[in-house]
Amino acid sequence: MQNHIDQVEYKGIIDKFIYQKDEYKIGILLSVNGKVTFKGTLYGVTKGQEVILKGRWVNDQKYGKQLQISSWEKPIPKTAKELIAFLTSKYIKGCGVKQAERIIESLGSNAIEIILKEKESSLLKVKGIRKKRAKQIYESIKESFSLQRTIEELSKIGLSPEIAIKLFTIYSDETVKVIKGNPFLLVHHKILKFPEADDISRKLVMYPLTGLRIEAAINYLLDENCAKYGHCYISETELVNKAISLLNNKKNDFINEQSVLQSIYSLEDQSIVIEENRVYPKKFYDYEEKAAVKLISLLNSKKKVFNNEVKLNNHIKEYQLKNKVILSEEQKQAIKAVLNNKVMILTGNAGTGKTTVLKAIIHIYQQVYPKDKISLSAPTGRASRRMKEVTQHEATTNHRLLGYNQGLTNIEFEYNSSNQLKYDFLIIDEMSMVDLHLFHALLQAINPHARVLFTGDADQLPSINPGNVLLDLIKSKLPCIRLREVFRQAKESQIITNANRVNKGKSIEIDQTKDDMYFIQRANDMSIANTLIKSAVRFIEKGYSISDLLILTPMKNGEIGTYRMNSRLQDILNPYSINKNEVKQGNKIFREGDKVIQTINRPEDGVFNGDIGIITHIGSNTKGDNGNREIDIISCDYQGIQVTYKKDEWREIELGYSITIHKSQGGQAPIVLIPMSMAHYNMLIRNLIYTGMTRAEEKLIFIGDMNALNKGINTNRIIERRTTLANKIQKNIEKLTEFHKKRSKNIENVL
């Protein structure tokens, strides 16, 4: 931008929009001087409405002369035509043409000012408008002009229209007053980070020693550290030091240790809990406490256990004969342990037969308890579908099992402590991916007499969100069976053998006589990327589909990161064609036939974060201002589940030709390709590599630098997550054991 001229003001009518996103519009204005091209963000305007724009003329290198908007406003309608257009627009609810005409007839050309001043009572004078409708019309008018003022006022302190609108949905016409009174609420609502909100507070000349500022910094640091490292608490000493550093970031700032400690103690039992020098966000402390208590109540429930050894052995023999399988002693012990305990953990590495024993457990349990209802669930759609395939039993995601509401109501899950699930036996798989929040929600929804089996591989990557649930369950004194024997069939697979070698810190060994695993040596990132693409093309030529390929990379950035790889793979595997519709969103292109990944949970449609699908259709449901159809929908197929996204939902999907290893958890594919480069030095960690390897069903191909792979194998740099769930479970078990001892002793004394 260059050639800035003094600020000018234009008044005119919106002619048409050249771009539209949600309710923000950038378009062409017909002014008194003809067409004026402008750049800016407008809210709540429609074609034919009058607006006033203020800004400066600039010469854009790409678009030429443009009016750069500094502020804008909708003048209050005065003429009958303007009033009817405004009152019948989509922004005013409950008002049709006839009602608009009656309002003008009754209130005159100053109708809007009168309504804003006298509220709904002014509309009750209008024929045909009752109290409910009057309130609806007034609230819509007030919101339309109040939001405009909110955007304008908050822009003066550096907040964008998008942020102003988010805040307006929370605080309505009190937004400006509330935010100017406490800009640190922007941190509370996770709209801005603390340093950004702190800068705004300085613009408002807030006193830097204010308690609000220190408390916001403490909550921010606690949330940031837990989110970044997966912790459930940090030490009080560390929190104080970090807070002092964050708060004293400007020349004249001086916050001492005593001030920080005072704020920490004032927040106790509000947003934080302090226990033995550990400071928890209150929600994580409560999750751990309630989870530990619920687990013990399940252990202590009155539901009978099946401990008839003879009958159980007969059931196992019958199952082996019927299914022509031989179960190991470990697997038999696992079956017995599940039927002998109310709560059980089953863990094991790749190839140890977890799915085999799971199938046997379900079959034998149904023989023992034919009337019981069984639930199978997993964290992702891919994991639950695979669970269904191997067990031949219905399975779902944990979120769908709980009836996730996704902000539709104040209750996060339909099933909870007040409305519990009706299942008698719940099997929850891939527990390494389950975070503390979801674990707590699952436990609260389980009825007190149910039996629960948690399964998973503790050596895979932990959950993205705070907590280390599976490891904590194993560390506690809850009943647990670890499968260790790798079966003959698994031993024949180089993928399984080498995955277990990697898990033990040993280098991979490639057998050239087998064709299920390869390492292709390449010297630099560009040659790694080129070979990845050539390998993908070769598998497609051999008859594999795009869905059969999983290209996993440790990072998003760089030549072999997901962003660059997705762009290149799209160009090669699904190039532009006049026969395929496509649409651009930001710097991304979506095209029919593209492989995509869902990035948030969408339980109402049966797809969840991490699910991979194919774009089947890009089209339109509506006509644009010029009468032509505008692309506004993308339809995808997720292994038989059809989902259609409106324009404002496109942000939920990303290209999925290449995904991170973290995103691949819970899913598998026939072909897995993994780049290995020192460019990903910080992410080359043993459990990351192990997790990626175990995603492959038929073939696993590493491409890159063997030194990088060995570096990852030798790096067992697992950040120990700070949790206390295991300790809390153990303490509750000890209390329960002591209670039963005393009870038995009392009975003996009576006898």
Q: What are phi and psi of 426, to 5 degrees?
A: -115, 130
CA 355 to chain centre: 27
Length of the chain: 751
- Are the beta carbons of 435 and 467 closer than 8 angstroms? yes
Token pair, residue 448, equals 């007190």
- Are the beta carbons of 686 and 505 closer than 8 angstroms? yes
Token pair, residue 501, equals 């070698």
3-class state of residue 597 by DSSP? strand
Residues of each annotated binding site for ATP: 351-355
Nearest CA-CA partner of 147 in 124, 180, 125, 171: 171
Indicate the residue type of 67. Answer: L
* 468 exposure class (CB count in 10 Å sphere: 0-12, 13-18, 19+): buried
Nearest CA-CA partner of 394 in 347, 421, 362: 362
Cα distances (Å, whole numbers) of residue 485 to 319, 327, 469: 20, 11, 24
- Are the beta carbons of 346 and 481 closer than 8 angstroms? yes
Residues of each annotated binding site: 351-355
Cα distances (Å, whole numbers) of residue 672 to 386, 510, 690: 17, 16, 13
Instruction: Give the separation between CA 17 and CA 723, rounded to whole angstroms.
Output: 53
Instruction: Give the separation between CA 510 and CA 687, rounded to whole angstroms.
Output: 20
Q: What are phi and psi of 406, to 5 degrees?
A: 45, 55
Nearest CA-CA partner of 334 in 311, 310, 364: 364
Token pair, residue 160, equals 């964008």
Nearest CA-CA partner of 446 in 429, 468, 424: 424
* Through-space distance between the first and last CA atoms of the chain, rounded to whole angstroms: 94
